Amino acid sequence: MNKLKFTKDEGSEFYKELNEKIEQYFTAEGIQKTGNKTMIFKIILYFSLDILFYGLMITSTTTIGFYSFYLLMGLSVLLTAFNISHDAAHGVAVKSKFWNKLLFSLSFNLQGNNAYVWGKNHNESHHLYTNIEGSDIDVLNNPVLRMTSTQTLKKIHKYQYLYAPILSLLYSINWFFIRELLMLFRKSSRTISINIPSIEIVKLIFFKLIYIGYMLVLPMYLLSFGVGTVILAFFLNHFMVSIIFTSVLGVSHLSDFVHHPIPDKDGKLQMSWPKLQMITSVDYNADSVFLNWTLGGFNAHALHHLLPNISHVHYLKILPIFIETAEKHNINYMNMPYKEALSSYYRFLYKMGNQQHMQPLIYESKAS
């Protein structure tokens, strides 16, 4: 991973004042930046649903019931990741460092994915160097999808806006079976190289086996629906999770409104870190109570990137402060309806597949 330097600009003053106002808000309200009673309720709710749907799935008496509860469990686990795992990864789900680490590790590892690897990738690559090729793990030199103008434009990319939705079905399957395992052998196309401690390698393999055990082997053993039925449910679940996951997160950084800054030869960007976050992140329906509750604040992505030390349960209250401060410092805040964000995502794929260089569109800031 290429480590970069930033340059002070108007984003620096914006960020300074934003943090001051946010501190004033929490002090005046006499509350913590971490999760509150609402978060405790969500933790109990989502983990209970995970257990409930698994119990119903593993005791199903009909094929329809089996598929229904299998998919409901998959959806519940995904919402647990959105609402609990992500906040816990940033140490803000609850006040206790121990419980944050436990919640994060437990929820991630039991999905068959390694919490340590994801945490390093997410916090030390994506959050720090968002949308910068060679530094952000989520910007790949991918022969199938072209995501930046510096990547070679190939004939196949002309159709990427058509086949991208099909590829998105395989996102979690790739993550579980290929992405993390390749990292063990340093064969990954990811842009960040992680030295994985031996204990984490053991945990990575162990929890993948545990996941296969309770998601595949145990249902095959306990239920009489047949191996094929269980395997189909397994893949349908991953397809569903992949579609939702990529639909929620893909539009946040893949858009014809966002930038992919290029550092100079000395590894320096001609902008501040706060400005980088604002020009590379798209929010959608950031003031939606429903989406905040369901997606754990992922729809307020710019807000989260700038203030990762605050739980999503506070986003709706601090959003007006965020917008007002951005407007004061002439920082363009991209917050749009989801339909517009999704359209921008597909325009981005089309342009990147048909143009050598893409000039990002200018999005006029709009109050929520």
> What is residue 93's predicted lDDT score, i.e. its pLDDT?
95
Evaluate if residue 190 carries a pLDDT over 60.
no
As a whole number of Å, the end-to-end CA separation of the chain is 36
Between CA 213 and CA 217, with CA 216 as vertex, the angle to 5 degrees is 55
Taking the CA atoms of residue 231, residue 237, residue 243 and residue 248 in that order, the dihedral angle to the nearest 10 degrees is -150
Q: Please tell me the predicted confidence (pLDDT) of residue 4.
A: 86
The torsion of the CA quartet 159, 162, 163, 166, rounded to 10 degrees, works out to: 180
The distance between the two most distant Cα atoms of the chain, rounded to a whole number of Å, is 64
Q: What is the pLDDT of residue 367?
A: 47
Amino acid found at 353:
G
pLDDT one-digit tens code per residue, 224-260:
999 999 999 999 999 999 999 999 998 999 999 999 9
- Grade residue 75 by pLDDT with cuts at 50, 70 and 90: very high
Q: What is the Cα 109 distance to its own chain's centre? A: 16
Cβ(252)–Cβ(281) under 8 Å? yes
Contact call for residues 50 and 73 (beta carbons, < 8 A): yes
Q: pLDDT of 90-117, one tens digit each?
A: 999 999 999 999 999 888 888 888 888 7
What pLDDT, on the 0 to 100 scale, is given for residue 10?
A: 93
Q: What is the DSSP string of 6-52?
A: ----HHHHHHHHHHHHHHHHHHHHT--SS--HHHHHHHHHHHHHHHH
Of 200, 150, 199, 144, which is closest to residue 167 (Cα–Cα)?
144
Give how far the C-alpha of residue 332 lies from the chain's centroid of Cα atoms, to the nearest Å.
Answer: 22
pLDDT at 72 over 50: yes
Q: What is the mean pLDDT of the chain?
A: 90
Q: Hey, what are 314's tokens?
A: 């506070």
pLDDT at 187: 55
Q: In the chain, what percentage of residues exceed pLDDT 90?
A: 70
DSSP, res 113: S
pTM of the model: 0.90
* Residue 114 identity (one-letter amino acid): N
Closest CA to 43 of 121, 2, 103, 90: 103
Give residue limits of the domains in the chain. 10-252+278-354
Say which residue, 69 or 191, is predicted with more confidence.
69
Could you tell me if 287 and 112 are in contact, meaning their C-beta atoms sit under 8 angstroms apart? no
pLDDT in the model for residue 368? 42
**pLDDT given for residue 136 in this prediction:** 80
Q: How far apart are CA 165 and CA 291, in angstroms?
A: 22
Asked whether the beta carbons of 332 and 271 are under 8 A apart, the reply is no
Angle at CA 251, nearest 5°, toward 247 and 255?
A: 150
- Residue range 59-86: mean pLDDT, rounded: 95
- CB of 80 closer than 8 Å to CB of 47: yes
Confidence of residue 6 (pLDDT cuts 50, 70, 90): very high
- What six digits make up the tokens of 307? 């203030």
Note the pLDDT of residue 140.
Answer: 63
User: pLDDT tier at 141 (50, 70, 90 boundaries)?
Assistant: low
Average of per-residue pLDDT across 268-273: 94
